[in-house]
A and B are shown apart, each in its own frame.
Chain A
Amino acid sequence: KQEVTQIPAALSVPEGENLVLNCSFTDSAIYNLQWFRQDPGKGLTSLLLIQSSQREQTSGRLNASLDKSSGRSTLYIAASQPGDSATYLCAVSTDSWGKFQFGAGTQVVVTP
């Protein structure tokens, strides 16, 4: 059974610092891995999708890496801003394209 773990559970940084969020998973046979952002009382916003054949994806200040063999993914957010404050979720798909196993999330607070 796939298990997804996110460390740390919470993170507080001053504005301008880089953020490093970690995700680990137990079964390396994945379809894809996706990082989401969730604001309180809101739905999920997809940030980056990494397919199983890829090693990283980049979008603006965000970069996500994938190491299937070690069961790890890391989300980097450069030059953090207060607007980056949210919960970040890592999700791994193993059975089918949209069936994800989610981590518990990392709650990020960026202070001005």
Chain B
Amino acid sequence: NAGVMQNPRHLVRRRGQEARLRCSPMKGHSHVYWYRQLPEEGLKFMVYLQKENIIDESGMPKERFSAEFPKEGPSILRIQQVVRGDSAAYFCASSPKEGTPGNTIYFGEGSWLTVV
């Protein structure tokens, strides 16, 4: 059973370009979460999605950032018109049905975005 797969692992973008980060959850998992780890800072929650629904986007910056989890295919975190402050590690996590006893959340290896 493959883990949470993120790609690309490393991405370099020039200021003003778009960055697209993809996340395939573990098989059987229907909940996806995105987190951001800025340099010298802790992990911060960004958004929680289920298939075709955004459940909680309270941690998403108001502009330039969007996320989706379509019926088919991976979840995508999209950053438009990137700025240097967007340089960070972006982690995706997945879990099975909420509230199932004993379930845990699994993280991917992360996507490291560098804006030059």
Chain A residues close to B by CB (< 8 Å): 34, 36, 41-46, 49, 51, 89, 91, 95-105
Contact = CB atoms under 8 A, between A and B. Distances in A.
A102 B43 contact: yes
B97 to A, nearest CB: 9
Closest 7 CB pairs of A and B: A44-B107, A43-B109, A102-B43, A97-B98, A49-B104, A98-B105, A104-B42
A100 B48 contact: no
A98 B101 contact: no
Identify which of A43, A95, A101, A105 gathers the most chain B CB atoms within 10 Å of its CB. Answer: A43
B100 to A, nearest CB: 9
Given A104-B42, A105-B42, A98 B110 contact: no
Interface residues of B, number: 30
B107 A97 contact: no
A46 B104 CA distance: 8
A98 B29 CA distance: 12
A46 B102 CA distance: 13
Interface string B24-64: 00000001010100000111110010000001100000000
A54 B25 CA distance: 27
Given A44-B91, A104-B42, A105-B42, A99 B33 contact: yes
A96 B103 CA distance: 13
A98 B42 CA distance: 16
B45 A100 contact: yes
Nearest to A103: B42
Nearest to A48: B104
B91 A99 contact: no
Nearest to A45: B107
Contacts of A49: 102, 104
A102 B106 contact: no
A46 B106 contact: yes
Contacts of A105: 42
A44 B108 CA distance: 7
